[in-house]
Amino acid sequence: MAGTDPERTLLEQMGGVSGLAYSSVPIVVFVLVNSLLGMMPAIWTAVGVAVTIMVVRIVRKEAVQPAISGVLGVVICSFIAYRTGDAKGFFLLGIWTSLVYGGAFLLSVLARWPLVGVAWSALNGLGFSWRHQRRALIGYDVATLSWTAVFAAKFVVQQWLYVADATGWLAFARIAMGYPLTGVALLVTVWAVRRASRIAEEAEAASESETRQDDASIRSNPSMG
């Protein structure tokens, strides 16, 4: 666990800094084209931009999975907008996804299986011994609750803007709330992972020390064996 850089790993899973930036482009394009030409041109333009970004990432040999996920996300959001007949429908998926994610993160803390710890262990092939170490568990609880707060804030603000028919402000909120809030949650997550790593190392060192002491006692007093 100690040999893995949590900050780098988390950024890689999100497509890196460029991936975070690319994810905003189709949203901005959709809102701009919708305001100038209408919803259908906006839908096709946003999908086209998302596909172009994916191709560029493939050509540059960057991480492909975030790009593919981005295209699928834009396609689904565009389909929802088309079915609802309203441009603001483009943001419905993100709004309700925030609610679902926030609920899942909160429930994981209540169940004593905080998702930040579970996800980190799964991504790096680690065990779940941290669940039996109170300080590590508390750290993962705090990190998971920080993500809960992020998703809750996104849902409340963007749902309010959706009801108010503020499509332009919805796009602004989607982007503006994305980077700052995600950055804060990432910092808390990195802190929790490093804290858990340090606690695990301390526990392992203490266990090895106890084992050596027991072995020394047995050698000095053979009758104990």
Extract the tokens encoding 181: 């809030």
Q: What is the DSSP code string of 88-104?
A: GGGGHHHHHHHHHHHHH
Tell me the pLDDT band of 1, cut-offs 50, 70 and 90. very low
* Contacts of 43 by beta carbon, 8 Å cutoff, 6+ apart: 30, 78, 81, 82, 90
Crossing angle of helices 178-220 and 167-176, rounded to 10°: 30
Q: Is residue 182 in a domain? A: yes
Q: What is the DSSP code string of 158-169?
A: HHHHHHTT-HHH
**In a 3-state reduction of DSSP, which class is residue 85?**
coil
Extract the tokens encoding 61: 């040999």
- What is the pTM for the complete model shown? 0.77
The pLDDT value recorded for residue 126 is: 73
pLDDT digits (tens, 9 = 90+) for 103-119: 999 999 999 999 998 98
More confident residue, 220 or 54: 54
Mean pLDDT of 159-165: 94
| Average pLDDT value for the chain | 82
Q: Is residue 176 in a domain? A: yes
Extract the tokens encoding 101: 């994610």
The pLDDT value recorded for residue 2 is: 44
User: What's the rounded Cα separation, in Å, for the pair 76 and 79?
Assistant: 5
Q: Is residue 14 in a domain? A: yes
Q: Is residue 99 in a domain? A: yes
Count of structural domains within the chain: 1
Q: Are 87 and 40 in contact (CB under 8 A)?
A: no
More confident residue, 131 or 106: 106
Q: Is residue 45 in a domain? A: yes
Q: Is residue 1 in a domain? A: no
**In a 3-state reduction of DSSP, which class is residue 112?**
coil
Tell me what percent of the residues of the chain surpass a pLDDT of 70. 80
121-156 as b/e: b if 16+ CB within 10 A: beeeebeeebbeeeebbebbbbbbbbbbbbbbebbe
Q: How many CA atoms lie within 13 A of 53 on its CB side?
A: 28
CA distances from residue 55 to 22, 109, 156, 224 in whole angstroms, order as listed = 12, 39, 35, 69
pLDDT digits (tens, 9 = 90+) for 49-99: 999 988 988 888 877 777 788 899 999 999 999 999 999 999 999 999 999
- Which pairs with CB-CB distance under 8 Å and at least 24 residues apart come from 168-176? 168/31, 168/35, 170/88, 170/91, 171/27, 171/28, 171/30, 171/31, 171/91, 174/27, 174/91, 174/94, 175/24, 175/27, 175/28
Q: Is residue 181 in a domain? A: yes
For residue 188, the enclosing domain spans 6-224
